[in-house]
Each structure stands twice: as structure tokens, then as C-alpha cells.
Structure 1
Amino acid sequence: MQGVIRAIKKWWPDFNGIVGFFLLNVGLVWAKSYWAYQTEFSLGAKGLLQQFLLVLNPLPTAIILIGIGLYFRGKLGYWIMWAMNALQSTWLFANILYYREFSDFLSLNIMGSGESAGGNLSKALGGIIKPVDFLVYLDVVIILGLLLFHVIKIDRQWVQKRLAVLLSLVGVCLMAIDYGLAIQDRSGLLTRTFDNNYIVKYLGLNEYAAYNIYKTQQTSELKKKAKSNDLKKIENFVQENQTTNNPLYFGKAKGKNVIVIHLESFQQFMIDYKVNGQEVTPNLNKFYHDQQSLSFDNFYNQVGQGKTADAEMMLETGLYGTASGSAMVNYGTTNTYQAVPGILDQQGYTTASFHGDTGTFWNRDNTYKSWGYDYFFSKPFFPAAKKEDNNIGYGMKDKLFFKESAPYLDQLPQPFYAKMITVTNHYPYDLDSKNISIEKTKTGDKTVDGYVQTARYMDQAFGEFINYLKKAGLYDNSLLVLYGDHYGISENHPKAIAKLLGKKSVNAYDLANWQKVPFIVHADGLQGGINHTYGGEIDVMPTILHLLGISTKQNIQFGQDLLAKDNKQIVAFRNSSFVSKDYVHYGGNYYVTSTGTKFDPKEDLRAKSIIDADQKYVDQSLSYSDEVQTGDLLRFHNLPGFKKIQRSDYSYSRKDSLAKLKADQKGNEKTVKMQHKGQLTQYDTDAPELGGAPQTIPEAVSASD
């Protein structure tokens, strides 16, 4: 032991020595990790213990990984330590960028979905980078130079093996101490948590990576081991939480077409929002307040890492996105589903999805086959998509997308179920000048201020599409469903959010309500109005099917009809926090929903009882949904009247789809085209790309909102 101490004393002040070089790299990795914890991630560390763990948790893996170099002699040892510094720096850098916009950490599944995402994720991240981010590489570059120019001289002596082993054991012991302290403060940390922030806060970013890899591999094994009996407890849970059909609305839209419009990144606060006295979204506002529109003002996005893909998963299947990565990417190709397109297809509907980007994005081209879509009209179907100026970010500009989708809608046999996925209102909210018609907001946050301009553009595209539906005769014969898929401005922009809301600052209660997105259903003869029921995207499937007169009592789905009077009104977020009609649990804090008053449930036994029951419902819903997804349990479920979907029955190639569309129209008088004597509906747009007049920013009515 004395020899070990003498060795440390000998090498400590000299970074030429391999132990000194080891200590230098460990210290630098620790410093930049701790800097990121405090400045780049919103980990919510409270109290001395959690702050201490933030200080401690970067050290164990830094010591273990960089310490690998101590087992090698000469140059190899130095280069291994430098490489381990660079590796950890890259992981830190990638998570800083990802977290900045998505409020979460990278997972194995997210990184593995790069191909399915069509490269668009990398484009979005490219716009997030700040020069300061590269500071995490500053020491890596400097040390590289010092090594190459022999400023740091290589010590070719062997490190005593017992010293190398001792330092590795120090890393392991520190990791054990960290975990022990963590589970004292947060019991069930690795068994019950749904929030990656907790893993990083308590254990560290590198430990989170190891845990995520383990969970991903574990998940793949679950499917192999799953049995039909695993479904029984889930069936019981679903049956226990059934709602009663509302006779005022059940079957009210029976037999109508269903047109679902996906409002990309569109948040509820934008409804009736003004910039310099100008409505940002006048068309959506009018639709929202229409007497035949049911508009929900307490409707929340519930997405996790899958974002848009999670929203689609909930709407189409009644299942949550999984805790790690996109379920569409991970399970869409192989799992059995009983999804809305398949259910309606077997009830005589033609089903189609429209998206102005590549079909592989979020693995849609495979998942849609599992869901039972007859058609998937993606980028190859739209001639305008071939011209670069007609695209922005994640696909075709919305005005062009709607215009080129209309001829396909005209040819779909009715009744049809069609989903239209807009993309222009997507980060980074950049729009070419000829399409800008409203000024930016002035929060001072570049990420935020362009949001109203792309939202206005999407609203204009929506207005043109509504005019087409009326001209085609589809408006009064369809159930129109509008929803925002997820936040557009993440809660990592609190100062800008406060300015947009007209507040000095925002707290966790405000950020919970910031997760609200629009949900509007409209049909001729529907008794409309503003509905204050608390709900979320998981509730869309039963709500829509019940409006169509289709019961969901035998379905395995975790939502509740928003129009049912006995709806629980509990909104589960993917990280297991929640909003209910009574209380809000968000960011580790509790609030009274109606007032926003913060309180401690331990001091109010009645409130604690309600919160505990709500939390149990939330946790069971999320975990049971995950079991269905990861175990592919619907393969064991018999839904009366529903035939298992065969993916081999579907092809979305342009050639096959156009041939099918032609065959489906033969002798079919139920298409708009045939009802209009073989003529397609004229579609009017002012898109400047097609010769329309460039947009202009109207004069401000007032100096401020």
C-alpha cells in the first residue's frame, strides 16, 4: 500500500507520467460533465444529496474507462486514455444537442432509427448547435496537439498492476456508493422510473447509456418469452377502466368519411394568439370556434422519445409510445396491431395516409402495413416534391402538399379514412421570404421567434384545404379531426415561453400546461362548443371510433372516450408525471389543477389519497402498454369481428398503388371524381412556387400583442 501511495505522489504533479496523464483526463471529463449537468440539462436536482450526486456521478465511469490505458505500456496507454476522453466527450456533445430540443437523452433505439428518419433528425440537430458546445472538445484537441508535438512526453515504464487494479476498483466503489445513495433518495430508480432525467441525475450520463443498452436488449428478449397468459391482467385492467358511451355523441358521425389533419408541432397557446394585433392562425381559430366543432382546451400531447411517431401510435392503436425510442421503428414491422385503419378497412372504409416526405421516415412504410392502411401516398407520389424549392425541412411545403394530395382524395372510394401529415411548422421554423406573412415574435430566442411564421403558413394551407373540401362536397360528409402532435417550443426555453405567455417567469405548473395541443372534431350536425375535459392523445382512438358508432369495449387500448361522462380525466405523460382534473404532478412538484397552487401532498391526506390513486393508474397504464408493445401481446388477443392483418397484402410502391387506385374506381360511384362526372376538383392556392402572389407582412395594428 505504501508503494502505491509513493507511486501516486511521484506521478501526481507530472502529467508526462502516465498516472498524471490519467488524472488530467479524468478531471477534464468530470469538469465538462458537471458543467453540462448544471447548464445544459434540466435535471431538477434538489437538496444537498442530489447536488452531491451530480458532483460524484461523472467520476466512476471516467475512472474506469480512462483507467483502461493504465493496463498498457507506452504510447498505447496514452492514446487509449485520450480516446476514452474523446469518446465520452462525443457522447456528452451529442446529448447536449439532442436534449436542447427534445428534453430527453439519446437512446440506442433513437440512434438506430437514423435511417428510418431519412436523415432529417441530423438536419434538425444541425440547426441547434452553438459555438459554445464545442468547448467539450477543447481539451481533447489541446491534448492531441500536446501529444503529437511531444510537449507531453511518453513515459514508457509499466504502471504497477496493483495500482491499475486499485484505481479501477476505486471507480467501481464510487459507482456502488453513488447507486446506494441514489436508491435511498429514489427507491425503485431502475425498476419503476419512466424518466431518463432521473437516471442521469442520480447515476450519470454514461451509466444511463449502459442502462439503456441493457433495457433495449432486455426488451428484445421479452417478446421471445411472452405468453398468452401475460395478457390477462392487462385485459382486466382495460375492462375495469371502461367508460359508458355518451348517447348524445355515440354514432353521430356513422358512415361519414374521416379526415385527420396532423398539425405538426402546433401548440394550444397559438389558438387566438396575436402578434402586433394580427391573428397568427385565423383559419384554425374560426374552425376551433365553429358551432359544429368540438374543441378540447385541456388536451395534452403525451409523446416520449418517438415524438411524432408516438402521437401517431397513440391515435391509431390506443397504445403509448415506448419508454425508449420510437415504437414504430422498433416494433412497427413485426408486431401485431388492431389499429384504426385496419378496423375501419374491415368495416368498408378505404384507408390512406398522406405524407410529403420519404416513406421510410419513422418506419412508416412498414408500420402502416401492420396497421392496415390500403394506401400510403408519400414523396414519390407528388411531382412537386422533385423540385428543391418546393420542400422545406421534413418534406413538401404544406400548401403544395395539400394541393397535390387532393386528386388522390378525389379518387378514393367513400367512405374513406385519410390522414394528412403536415410538416412545414417543424423546427427550425425557417421559411423562405416569399411565404412569410407575419412578423416574428421578439423574445430574443432565435429558436422560438420564427415559430409564428411557419404556424401562419400552415394555417393558410389549412384554409385552402378546407375550401377544397367544401368545393369537393367532402366538408359536410366528413368527420374532420385536427390534432397537434407535440410541442413546437420545448420547455428548455423558459424565458421565451414566459414572454410568449406574458409572464415574468414560468414554473412546473406552467410547463405542464405548455404541453397542451389542439384537438378538434367537426362534423355537420355535431353539437359543438369548447369542451373542458382533461385528456390526451391516448384518448383519440376511442373518441373517434365511438363517434363512428364502433364500440371499443373489446379492444386492448389505454385511452378513454373524451365524450364519456365517466371519463377519469387523468393525463399520463411518458415520464409518469400527470395532469388530472384535480391535481398536477410535474417536474417533481404538485399543484392544484384549477388554481396552480403548489402544495405538499404529505400535508394533505385527502389530496395524497387521490394523487396516489391517480399515480397508480398512470404507472399501470404506461407499464401495461409497454408490455403489450415489447411482448407483442396483441398476437394473443382475439378482437371479435376483426381479422388479423397480413402485411403481405399491402404494397406502397407508386406503380402498385396507382394500379390499385385505378382498379378500385372501376364502376365505383362513391368517389368524388365519379360524382363530378369524371372531373377532378379544382384546387385553389396562392403558393408563390406555382405562380401565386408573394406573401406580404400586414402593417401592425398595434405596437405589441
Structure 2
Amino acid sequence: MERVVQTAKKSGAYLFNSTMGFFLLNVFFVWLKTYMVYQHDFSLGAKGPMQEFLLFFNPIPTAIILLSIGLYFKGRASYWTMLLMNLVQSIWLFSNILYYREFSDFLSLNIINSGSSAGNNLGKALGGIIDPTDFLVFADIIVLTLLIAFKLIHVNRHAVRRWVAGLTTLLGVALMFVGYGLSESDRSGLLVRTFDNNYIVKYLGLNEYAAYNIYKTQKTAEVKKQATPKNLEKIEKFVKSNNTIPNAQYYGTVKGKNVVMFHLESFQQFLIDYKVDGEPVTPNINRFYHDQNSLSFDNFYNQVGQGKTADAENMLENGLYGLASGAAMVNYGSTNTYQAVPNMLDQRGYTTAAFHGDVASFWNRDNTYKNWGYDYFFSKPFYKGANKDDYNIGYGMKDKIFLKDASQYLDQLPQPFYSKVITVTNHYPYDLDKKNISINKTDTGDKTVDGYVQTARYLDQAFGEFERYLKKSGMYDNTVIVLYGDHYGISENHPKAIAKLMGKDSVTPYDLANWQKVPLIIHSPGLKGGIKHTYGGEIDVMPTLMHLLGISTADNIQFGQDLLAKNNKQVVPFRNGNFVSKNYVKYGGNYYVTSTGTQINPKEDPRAKAIIDNDQNYVNDSLTYSDQVQTGDLLRFHKLAGYKQDDPKNYSYKQDDPKNYSYKKNDTLKSLKDLEKKKPTSAMQKTGGKIPEYETNAPELGGEPQTIPEAISSSQ
């Protein structure tokens, strides 16, 4: 026993009084907190002994490499360097905890670089995500610092021998290669098929993911310089081989009509017909969904990646997927060549305009929209009182106020027009001031989730007011309204709350795959509607809409399929390489029969394996080729018959500044008035300026404050 005590004392003295001991303490703490975060905060889906071992092992190599930097110094410099390296890794870990909690993905260099486009709002979102326990990743640094300060850890003033420091670093490098070798044995081609960042972190580690992401980002920057027209040949062949044949029953049925793309922020399919305490959450959208003149799709999925809303816009207007890392609108929106819906319609006589109640620079919209061919972009500065605190919440203007102000510009657009209206109130953190609340929260016990139905109800009311305005203005009968949800509102990192909302005890990956459904409703008076069960996603909206308008997409480089076409593949790729099809679902590394949710093992069913492999090849090729189009700017080599690439310099989204005359020649409002004179087809012109007043019950504008009906309120 005495020998054990003596050994323990010597070990303690070594850890607390030697440089190498302090190094080992830091390695242990970095490993411990990283592994705990893997298990508690990330959903990495480790299966089997090998993956579990790699999850346990992978924090160690980079911890050794980075912390060993301190071994090349002596005395206090050595100790503080090690603490600094610990801090750097802890900040990276902390940042990813917060980002993953909301976005189910890891931070990338592109996302960090795009912070300026999202910076004015990012803090608001992350502020609501933080849990006090997240700060425990810094606890060891604080404790070690205090132990040094109070001399409970004695700083060894002698330098570690150089060969010892060098061997320690080499040990970390060697262990990294060992981890990579084991990873390749379990999943070959790990760094070739990198659709899912979870795999990189699960197999190699969070720090290795950061290094690989930086390398890949820099390599991607070189792709455009080296791209040639030949790079487009195999992509054109793939796109043509997967083209759908337009449905003759629908092709051109809304030709020449106005189009309003109504963007339902963070709105999920489960909200349709969903009730809280017997009260429908979204009565206006429910009615619209079931209308006889609405084409509604109940197997329609969001397919966004890190770009979230920006990815949805990219898919709907270009037929191109979001990127594996970052957002295309930020990375390439200012410089790439596009063949976007606004520009194509603009060249067919449409006036094109986008409306958004936030600053123009968010997601680089002010530059990207010029490249996409939008004639006008009415952002926050165009709306009266837009900077009043009471008119804003979360990510911009409250929807009711924003839509009322936007209507005055929609009135002035020469018809036909193509417009996109982006709402923002139903965005995380789902907070709403009391005077605008008209339904109870849900009672899942998850504070992130429970307010979601309240902001969704507000969005539904705002849409109802907008719909009534279109009818009063006379534009409704000649307009196609496309309602779409851009991405999930409640991420899969809230499984208990999701289960309760779904009325289940727990959720499976199959449930989470279906949780990715968002609404798509295409409505126009006279259109033969109905609820369609076709499996599709946001990538499919562009060809579907264009064919309804009577415009062929046969020669476009786009990766969607007409949802109304009889030869639609009904395969829905997700950005991480998973998919849903009419036959099978691949999600979270598991496979399920789509119709029943029964889990299967493809290796045990040759027929299922053949179908799944074919679908997976289609998914992989679609994502890879779409990425190549964007990273290589390959559309600059593509000639589309009858299409002329517009010059972004032709557009200006500025307001008139009376103190600066140079603005006047490009002033948006002046330009719009000039266009109205040349083409007097706007609702304003047709009615001689007698547009009915936009009606809203927004309390900020004099409406009655919302209240929760007593029958509902008393049930909680």
C-alpha cells in the first residue's frame, strides 16, 4: 500500500511540477472535453466498435501536435503557449457546439468568411442557443491558470530537450496517420466523397475537419482558373439524360401570368393542418393548400446545406444545389455567370423584383440579384419606419408591416412581373412580442421549439392579409402564387421535442428524414389543383414553374425535374449525400422502405441494393456536377438559345439621395416610374391610382393587439 501511495505522489508531482506533466494534463483535458462534446452535443452516428474507437481516439493526435508547440519554449512561455493552444481548440469546439445546435453542421471557412453578410443577425441567433453548460469547455483552462497563479502548479524553468519535443510532435503526426488508415479501412474514399461533414468529424476529428476544410476551400479557388469548356461536356450529357418530358396537361397553362414567389421562412410541412389545443396554427395556408386551384405537394423536401435560405433561393432560381461548404450566393454570387429565372423571364417581357425586410447585403443579395437579373430589389431602406425598433424583430421587419409596405411597390410593377417576397418573422429564435401572439405555445418543454407555432401563426396571418390585398388590387386572377418553405424550422437536434410534436415516444432517422418536408403550393385561378404525392425537393421547382409558364428547360444546365412530369425519377438528394425516393430512404447511415418506414439492410436484399445503388449514383453525380458548375463557373461556357447574359452594372438597387446627384440616374424609384410610363400595365396604372388600402391588423400600425382566445388560453 505504501508503494502505491508513493507512486501516486510521484505521479502527482510529475504532473504538477514538470513541463511534460503539464503538457499531458492539457492533452487529457482537450481529449476529455472534445469526446464529451462528441457524445453530448453532436449527432455523429458512430456504429460498431471501430467507429466508436475512432470517436474516442481522434481528439488525441491534433491535441498532441498543437500542444507540443509549447514544448519548444521554456519556463512560463512554455506553459502559457500550451494554455493558448488549449484555448484555441476550446474556442473552436465552443463555436461548433453553438453552430451545430441550430444548423446540424460544422463551421466552415466559407461560413466564417461570409460572416460579414450575416453578421448583423448571427449574434441574435447564437445568443439564444447558448446553454450555460457550454462554457464548461473553458473550465480546465481557468482551473489550470489559477493553479499556476497560486503556485499549486510550479513552473519548470528548464526547457524540454529538443529531441523530446520533436518526437512528441512526430508522435501526434504518426497517430493522425494511424487514425486516417483505420478510417479508410472502415469507409474507403472518405476524403473523396465528402458530402457529409459528420463523416469527417466522426472518423478524423473536429480539428482535422477544420484543416481539411481550409485545404479544400483553397483548392476550390483554383478550380475556376483551370476550368475549360471541356469540363462542361459530361455535365451536359448527364443533365440531358435526366431531363423530364413536360406534362402536356399542364405545360403553358399559366403562360404570361404574374408570378409571386412567397418565401415562408423556416416553415415545415407538419404545420399544415396542425393544431394546438384544438386551434389550427395556420388556417390561411391550410385553406390555400387544399384549394381546388392549388397544386400542393405533400412529399416535398428542403435540400439546403450550410447556406440555408441562400441555398433554397439558389435551387429555386438556378436549379443548382447549395454548396458542400458555405453559400454559393456569398462565394460566387458577385462573380459567376448565371442563367437564372429572373433573367430568363426578364428577356420575355417580365418585370422582375425581390422584396426583403432586411439589409440588402444579407447573404450578398445586393450583388447576387444583379447577377441573377432582378430589375429591382426593395430591401429595408425602402420601407417607412423600417428602423423603428417596434417594427422589427429577429432578422428584420415584422412580416405584416413589411408586406404592407412592399405592396406599394408591387402595385407599380409593370405586368407581367416575377417577384420574390421573403418573410423573416418565423425565424429562430421564434420570439414574438405579446401584442402579436394569438395562439399558445406548444408544451414540449424545449424552449427553442415551443414558440415556433406562435411565429408560424403570425406568418400565416401576414400571408392571409397579403392574399386579400392581391384580390382587392385586381392582380390575383392573373397571378401565380408559389408558396414554399425554405428549410426546417426545428432542427433534428431536438429529437424529444420533435417526437412530442409528432405524437410519438421517440423518433428514428426515418422520422427525421420526413421531418425535412416543407410546403410547396402553386396556386392560380383556373389551375387544375390537387394534392400531389410526387417525391421531390426545392431543386425541382425551377423546371416545374418554367414548364407551367410554357418555357422549356431542355437546354438549361439545371439539376431538377418537373414535378408534374410522368417520367420524374422521384429521387430527392440531400446535400450530405442522403436521399429520399419513392422506394427507399437513406438517412443517418440507415436504410428504410419509404412507404412503411421498415428498416432494411441492402446487403441482404439484392433487388433493394440494386435500386439503392442506382439512386445513390444519381445523387452523387447530381451533387458533384452541380458543385463543378459553380466552383468552375462553367455556365460562362454554356450557350443557351435565345438567352443573353445580362451585365450586373445595368442594375442599381439604391434609393435617391437628394444630397448626392450621382444617385439620381440609378435611383430605383425613378427607374420604376420611367418604366411605368413606357409600359403602363401596372395595377396602379390600370386603376388610375385607385388601389384599395392594404388592410392589416398589425397593432404597430393601429390594429387591435392579438389575444389568445379564452377557450384556448384556459386549457394550459
Normalising by structure 2, we get a TM-score of 0.96
Q: Is contact 2:302-2:486 (8 Å) kept?
A: yes
Q: Is contact 2:15-2:24 (8 Å) kept?
A: no
2:98 alignment partner, SS class: helix
Q: Is contact 1:250-1:547 (8 Å) kept?
A: yes
Alignment partners' CA distance in 2, 1:545 and 1:347:
12
| Distance apart, 1:10 and its partner CA | 8.4
| Distance apart, 1:16 and its partner CA | 2.5
- My pick for the range that moved more, 663-672 or 538-547, is 663-672
| Distance apart, 1:152 and its partner CA | 2.2
Alignment partners' CA distance in 2, 1:459 and 1:647:
35
Give the corresponding residue for 2:688: 677
Q: Is contact 2:440-2:712 (8 Å) kept?
A: no
Give the corresponding residue for 1:4: none
Amino acid at match of 1:301: N
Percent of residue pairs bearing the same amino acid type: 69
* Equivalent runs, 1:355-434 vs 2, <5 Å: 355-434=356-435
1:19 alignment partner, SS class: helix
1:385 alignment partner, SS class: coil
| Per-residue deviation, residues 642-662 of structure 1 (Å, max 9, x unmatched) | 001211111111121111111
Alignment partners' CA distance in 1, 2:223 and 2:501:
45
Give the corresponding residue for 1:137: 138
Q: Is contact 2:16-2:152 (8 Å) kept?
A: no
Alignment partners' CA distance in 2, 1:12 and 1:660:
78
Q: Is contact 1:284-1:459 (8 Å) kept?
A: yes
CA change 1:152–1:672 in 2 (3 A) is: same
Alignment partners' CA distance in 1, 2:503 and 2:560:
34
1:59 correspondence with 2:60: yes
Of 685, 688, 693 in structure 1, the residue corresponding to residue 704 of structure 2 is 693
Alignment partners' CA distance in 1, 2:355 and 2:162:
63
| Distance apart, 1:141 and its partner CA | 1.4
Alignment partners' CA distance in 2, 1:472 and 1:145:
69
Give the corresponding residue for 2:441: 440
| Per-residue deviation, residues 72-92 of structure 1 (Å, max 9, x unmatched) | 111111111000000000000
* Equivalent runs, 1:265-664 vs 2, <5 Å: 265-655=266-656, 656-664=667-675
Give the corresponding residue for 1:189: 190
Alignment partners' CA distance in 2, 1:11 and 1:697:
63
- My pick for the range that moved more, 217-226 or 666-675, is 666-675
| Distance apart, 1:665 and its partner CA | 1.2
Amino acid at match of 2:388: K
1:354 alignment partner, SS class: strand
| Distance apart, 1:67 and its partner CA | 0.4
CA change 1:519–1:191 in 2 (3 A) is: same
Alignment partners' CA distance in 2, 1:297 and 1:510:
15
| Distance apart, 1:506 and its partner CA | 0.5
Q: Is contact 2:284-2:460 (8 Å) kept?
A: yes
Q: Is contact 1:277-1:702 (8 Å) kept?
A: no
| Per-residue deviation, residues 621-657 of structure 1 (Å, max 9, x unmatched) | 0000000000000000001100012111111111211
Alignment partners' CA distance in 1, 2:12 and 2:466:
72
1:486 alignment partner, SS class: coil
| Distance apart, 1:524 and its partner CA | 1.3
Two-structure CA RMSD over aligned residues (Å): 1.3
| Per-residue deviation, residues 350-372 of structure 1 (Å, max 9, x unmatched) | 00000000000000001001100
| Per-residue deviation, residues 14-34 of structure 1 (Å, max 9, x unmatched) | 322110110011100000000
| Distance apart, 1:162 and its partner CA | 1.4
| Per-residue deviation, residues 247-299 of structure 1 (Å, max 9, x unmatched) | 11000000000001000000000000000000000000000000000000000
Amino acid at match of 1:542: P
Q: Is contact 2:535-2:582 (8 Å) kept?
A: yes
- My pick for the range that moved more, 515-524 or 139-148, is 139-148
| Distance apart, 1:11 and its partner CA | 9.1
- My pick for the range that moved more, 465-474 or 145-154, is 145-154
Give the corresponding residue for 2:170: 169
| Distance apart, 1:44 and its partner CA | 0.2
Alignment partners' CA distance in 2, 1:682 and 1:204:
58
- My pick for the range that moved more, 115-124 or 275-284, is 115-124
1:221 correspondence with 2:222: yes
| Per-residue deviation, residues 87-138 of structure 1 (Å, max 9, x unmatched) | 0000000000000010000000111111111421221011000000000011
Q: Is contact 1:355-1:422 (8 Å) kept?
A: yes
| Distance apart, 1:193 and its partner CA | 2.5
Alignment partners' CA distance in 1, 2:632 and 2:578:
24
1:81 correspondence with 2:82: yes
| Per-residue deviation, residues 364-413 of structure 1 (Å, max 9, x unmatched) | 00100110000000000011212111001110000001000001000000
Alignment partners' CA distance in 2, 1:124 and 1:410:
34
Structure 2 gap ranges (5+): 1-9, 657-666
* Equivalent runs, 1:91-102 vs 2, <5 Å: 91-102=92-103
Q: Is contact 1:668-1:674 (8 Å) kept?
A: no
Q: Is contact 1:300-1:516 (8 Å) kept?
A: yes
- My pick for the range that moved more, 146-155 or 23-32, is 146-155
Q: Is contact 1:479-1:522 (8 Å) kept?
A: yes
| Per-residue deviation, residues 398-438 of structure 1 (Å, max 9, x unmatched) | 00010000010000000000000000000000000000000
Amino acid at match of 2:402: F
Q: Is contact 2:440-2:713 (8 Å) kept?
A: no
Amino acid at match of 2:437: I
Q: Is contact 2:18-2:155 (8 Å) kept?
A: yes
Alignment partners' CA distance in 2, 1:398 and 1:147:
54
Q: Is contact 1:384-1:400 (8 Å) kept?
A: no
Alignment partners' CA distance in 1, 2:712 and 2:450:
19
* Equivalent runs, 1:8-23 vs 2, <5 Å: 13-23=14-24
- My pick for the range that moved more, 672-681 or 548-557, is 672-681
Q: Is contact 1:298-1:516 (8 Å) kept?
A: yes
Alignment partners' CA distance in 1, 2:152 and 2:222:
50
Give the corresponding residue for 2:662: none
Q: Is contact 1:335-1:629 (8 Å) kept?
A: yes
| Distance apart, 1:148 and its partner CA | 3.1
Alignment partners' CA distance in 2, 1:101 and 1:276:
27
| Per-residue deviation, residues 491-514 of structure 1 (Å, max 9, x unmatched) | 000000000000111000000000
Amino acid at match of 1:178: G
- My pick for the range that moved more, 642-651 or 451-460, is 642-651
| Distance apart, 1:154 and its partner CA | 1.7
Give the corresponding residue for 1:5: none
Give the corresponding residue for 2:661: none
Q: Is contact 1:118-1:360 (8 Å) kept?
A: no
1:470 alignment partner, SS class: helix
- What count of residue pairs does the alignment treat as equivalent? 697
| Distance apart, 1:12 and its partner CA | 7.2
| Per-residue deviation, residues 505-543 of structure 1 (Å, max 9, x unmatched) | 100000000000000000111100100000000000000
CA change 1:263–1:304 in 2 (3 A) is: same
2:334 alignment partner, SS class: coil
Q: Is contact 1:275-1:704 (8 Å) kept?
A: no
CA change 1:45–1:337 in 2 (3 A) is: same
| Per-residue deviation, residues 161-206 of structure 1 (Å, max 9, x unmatched) | 1111111111011101100000111111000120000000000000
Alignment partners' CA distance in 2, 1:74 and 1:578:
55
| Distance apart, 1:703 and its partner CA | 8.7
| Distance apart, 1:608 and its partner CA | 0.5
Alignment partners' CA distance in 2, 1:240 and 1:633:
19
| Distance apart, 1:140 and its partner CA | 1.1
| Distance apart, 1:228 and its partner CA | 0.6
1:479 alignment partner, SS class: strand
Alignment partners' CA distance in 1, 2:520 and 2:119:
28
Q: Is contact 1:350-1:374 (8 Å) kept?
A: yes
